[in-house]
Amino acid sequence: AQSVAQPEDQVNVAEGNPLTVKCTYSVSGNPYLFWYVQYPNRGLQFLLKYITGDNLVKGSYGFEAEFNKSQTSFHLKKPSALVSDSALYFCAVTRSGNTPLVFGKGTRLSVIA
Amino acid sequence: NAGVTQTPKFRVLKTGQSMTLLCAQDMNHEYMYWYRQDPGMGLRLIHYSVGEGTTAKGEVPDGYNVSRLKKQNFLLGLESAAPSQTSVYFCASSYFPGTSDRQETQYFGPGTRLLVL
């Protein structure tokens, strides 16, 4: 069975500083990994995904994530945080295209001006 | 393209009442999903469909039924609502694997907020 852990319920960072939102996963076989963002009173928006290839994946709004197979992690990063990045971030995993995604519980990012 | 739309946006029910949530997508996606989102629980899959006329149970299917009579629509039904079903419900859709480089990426609707008293 697949599972995702987001160990931090809340991450606070000052505007302009780098940010990291952590995600670890458990899946049999090769993982398909995703990050989604949710702004208040909105649905989830796709940020980026790792299927295969380069371990560093670049996505929307300047976000990137690094796939680390040995640590079973897929942390989301951004070099310089913006106040507008404040939102709820979800990591998700599946083991192939035929199985539904399993989502983490979410991490609330707060960027302070 | 409207993407994924959900109807209604908000609803209040009394315990025991029934209702149907409608999800529609105009992206010709094969796969459709219903999730519920509760504080501290993330998104949990209720039911999903891999094509017209097919449905499957997710993580938390009890108390819900679904139907996929048309490819573009996925209905979620509550036959006898309970306060434990108070939640925000999200629909999502995605391409069939192997048909697009955007496969597996799920596209979400704006959500339906349901309050059961």
Which residue of B lies nearest to A5 if distances are taken between CA atoms? B42
Shortest distance, CA B43 to any CA of chain A (angstroms): 6
With beta carbons under 8 A apart, name residues in chain B contacting A97: 96-98, 103-104
CA dist A97 and B96 (Å) reads 8
Q: Which tops the pLDDT comparison, B96 or A75?
A: A75
Q: Are B35 and B44 in contact (CB under 8 A)?
A: yes
Q: What confidence score (pLDDT) does residue B97 get?
A: 61
B38-66 pLDDT, tens digit per residue, is 988 889 999 999 999 999 999 999 999 99
pLDDT of residue B40: 84
Whether the pLDDT of residue A97 is over 90: the answer is no
* Nearest chain A residue (CA) to B33: A100
- Closest approach of A64 to chain B, Cα-based (Å): 16
Per-residue pLDDT tens for B72-111?
999 999 999 999 999 999 999 988 665 555 566 889 999 9
Mean pLDDT of chain A: 92
CA distances from A49 to A66, A74, A93 (A): 10, 10, 10
The pLDDT tens digits for A41-70 are: 888 999 999 988 889 999 999 999 999 999
Size of interface A-B (CB pairs under 8 A): 54
Residues of B in contact with A46 (CB under 8 A): 105-107
